[in-house]
A and B are shown apart, each in its own frame.
Chain A
Amino acid sequence: MKNYRGSILFVAGFAIALSAGWLAFPRAEYERQNQPIQFSHKVHRDKGGMKCEDCHAIRDDGTFSGIPAVDKCAGCHAAPMGTTDEEKRMIKRYIEPNREIPWLVYARQPENVRFSHAFHVKLAKLACERCHQAHGDSNSLPAFERDRVSGYSRDILGDPSLANAANRHPGMQMDDCIRCHQQRGVQDSCLACHK
């Protein structure tokens, strides 16, 4: 018995480290922030009859509109259209004083990255879900998770935890870009994707 004591302790330490690293760390690594107001893509699509492109469109100059500015929201929500408190809060806080809503952008790339939606959508014909996952059916916005070390969002870094292994998101780091470019035989210089 005494002979195994050392091995048991070793294995115990090993197991603790593994579980801490694979289960606890991914949770501790990210700080969670809630979006300034809640938003339902589903309601806007089904009840509002809106299409994705109404808000997320590629402009004529090739830039991507991303998340619409508050004047776009004000176009419909100058007065409450529904009965939710969230909507009233949005009107009071942002639409009436004409303040931009400080959305936390899940897919925000760092400053030195240049990404052209026009290339990927119009020329390469990639589906939006390829990188952003389908969220047209979502009824609420998930919390924004920021990596405490790098400062990047979880959607950019990808998700290494075992808990999410099944629907693991590929991430949007440079390696992820390069992998796809290699698969498709796209050769580029550094400054094609950096600015």
Chain B
Amino acid sequence: MAANKSARYGMVIDLDRCTGCGACMVACAIENNVPPANAKATERTGITWMRVHRLGNGRPFPDSRAVFFPILCQQCGHHTPCVAVCPQNAVEVDAATGIVDQMPQRCLGCRYCMAACPYHARYFNWWDPAWPAGMEKTLNPDVAPRMRGVVEKCNLCHGRLHRAESKAAAEGRRDIAANDYVPACVEACPAKAITFGDLADDQTEVAQLARSEGAFRLLEKLGTESKVYYRSERPWVHQAVKSGIGKEPQRG
């Protein structure tokens, strides 16, 4: 019933515009009912469907340079690693949208998918999702909070896709309007660094940007056909991405 039968939703993130402010991370958590950190949470156990890393050029002051690298589920379209390993069939690639869907209610918490994901884009609920008392009423009604013990990840704001579909249906349309479906991080980015849309449609801005010079994907050699592209005109960024994989990103 999903609209745009053969859509392949994806995005292009312009690394030369990202200021690393973190608005995308905050907007994402609010949109998707990701709880604030448990007192014991660290950067290894916290949940950030969208996480901005800082990748340095590895040179000392004053030649050091860094780039902010927003990492979210890369929405692999081919040999999707998390789908392949899930014993529960709790992950699938939606044929209609190309979005990699995670079903927290099916998940049994084995975390094979987290081990399989080459992008570290999956997060485990180590604690019950807890908000300060009274703050539950600020939760987004379009997204169900997840329970302790399951894995979750970015699904390109499925709640917003639902909203756009329902709005289209109320108007008697099956196809959603492109403007009606924009993930929260894209909307929130103050630098307008993220372009979102249907990669399958050659006419969209995102499809053209994805093909433009300076665009690349992470770990392209794995052949995962991911749908999140990055762009930079700085040669060292391309170099660092090629050689820096496997190293912990430098913090900022």
* A–B direct contact (CB < 8 Å): yes
Looking at B167-175, B193-201, B218-226, B240-248, the stretch in contact with chain A turns out to be B167-175
Q: Which residues from chain A contact B162 at a C-beta distance below 8 Å?
A: 114, 116, 195
The answer to whether A73 has its CB under 8 Å from any CB of chain B is: no
Q: Which residues from chain B contact A191 at a C-beta distance below 8 Å?
A: 94, 99, 101, 103, 155, 158
The answer to whether B148 has its CB under 8 Å from any CB of chain A is: no
Which of A190, A192, A195 has a CB less than 8 Å from the CB of B142? Answer: A195
Which of B1, B106, B166, B174 has a CB less than 8 Å from the CB of A63? Answer: B166
Residue of B nearest to A61 (CB): B167
**In the complex the two chains form, is B165's CB within 8 Å of A122's CB?**
no
Interface string of A22-34 (1 = CB under 8 A from B): 0000000000000
Which of A62, A114, A186, A189 has a CB less than 8 Å from the CB of B167? Answer: A62
Tell me the A136-195 residues at the B interface (CB within 8 Å). 186-192, 194-195
The answer to whether A85 has its CB under 8 Å from any CB of chain B is: no
Interface size class of A (residues with CB under 8 A): 20 to 34
- Chain A residues packing against B (C-beta within 8 Å): 58-63, 111-112, 114, 116, 118-119, 122-123, 186-192, 194-195
Which DSSP category, helix, strand, loop or mixed, fits chain B's interface?
A: loop
What would 26 A/B residue contacts be, using CB atoms closer than 8 Å?
A58-B170, A61-B167, A62-B167, A62-B168, A62-B170, A112-B104, A114-B142, A114-B162, A116-B162, A116-B165, A116-B166, A118-B166, A118-B170, A119-B165, A119-B169, A123-B172, A123-B174, A190-B92, A190-B101, A190-B106, A191-B94, A191-B155, A192-B1, A192-B94, A194-B144, A195-B159
**In the complex the two chains form, is B170's CB within 8 Å of A61's CB?**
yes
Q: Which residues from chain A contact B155 at a C-beta distance below 8 Å?
A: 191
Q: Which residues from chain A contact B168 at a C-beta distance below 8 Å?
A: 62
Q: Which residues from chain B contact A63 at a C-beta distance below 8 Å?
A: 166
Which of A58, A112, A192, A194 has a CB less than 8 Å from the CB of B2? Answer: A192
- Chain B residues packing against A (C-beta within 8 Å): 1-2, 92, 94-97, 99, 101, 103-106, 142-145, 155, 158-159, 162-163, 165-170, 172, 174
Residue of A nearest to B159 (CB): A195
CA A192 – CA B161 in complex, angstroms?
9
Which of B92, B96, B144 has a CB less than 8 Å from the CB of A111? Answer: B144
**In the complex the two chains form, is A59's CB within 8 Å of B170's CB?**
yes
Q: Which residues from chain A contact B170 at a C-beta distance below 8 Å?
A: 58-62, 118, 122
Q: Which residues from chain B contact A119 at a C-beta distance below 8 Å?
A: 1, 165-166, 169
**In the complex the two chains form, is B105's CB within 8 Å of A194's CB?**
yes
Task: Decide: A189 near B165, CB < 8 A? Known: A122-B170, A195-B144.
Answer: no
Residue of A nearest to B162 (CB): A114
Residue of B nearest to A121 (CB): B169
**In the complex the two chains form, is A122's CB within 8 Å of B158's CB?**
no
Sorted nearest first, the 5 A-B pairs with minimum C-beta distance are: A62-B166, A118-B169, A189-B94, A62-B170, A112-B144
Which of B106, B142, B169 has a CB less than 8 Å from the CB of A123? Answer: B169
CA A186 – CA B95 in complex, angstroms?
13
Q: Which residues from chain B contact A187 at a C-beta distance below 8 Å?
A: 95
Residue of B nearest to A123 (CB): B169
CA A112 – CA B174 in complex, angstroms?
23
Q: Which residues from chain A contact B101 at a C-beta distance below 8 Å?
A: 189-191
Which of B95, B103, B169 has a CB less than 8 Å from the CB of A116? Answer: B169
Q: Which residues from chain A contact B97 at a C-beta distance below 8 Å?
A: 189
- Given known contacts A61-B170, A195-B143, what 17 new A-B pairs fall within 8 Å (CB)? A59-B170, A60-B170, A62-B163, A62-B170, A111-B144, A112-B105, A112-B144, A114-B142, A187-B95, A188-B2, A189-B2, A190-B101, A191-B99, A191-B155, A192-B1, A194-B144, A195-B162
Residue of A nearest to B173 (CB): A123
Residue of B nearest to A189 (CB): B94
CA A63 – CA B169 in complex, angstroms?
10
CB distance from A151 to the nearest CB of B (A): 15
Q: Which residues from chain A contact B2 at a C-beta distance below 8 Å?
A: 188-189, 192
CA A111 – CA B163 in complex, angstroms?
16
Which of B92, B99, B158, B172 has a CB less than 8 Å from the CB of A195? Answer: B158
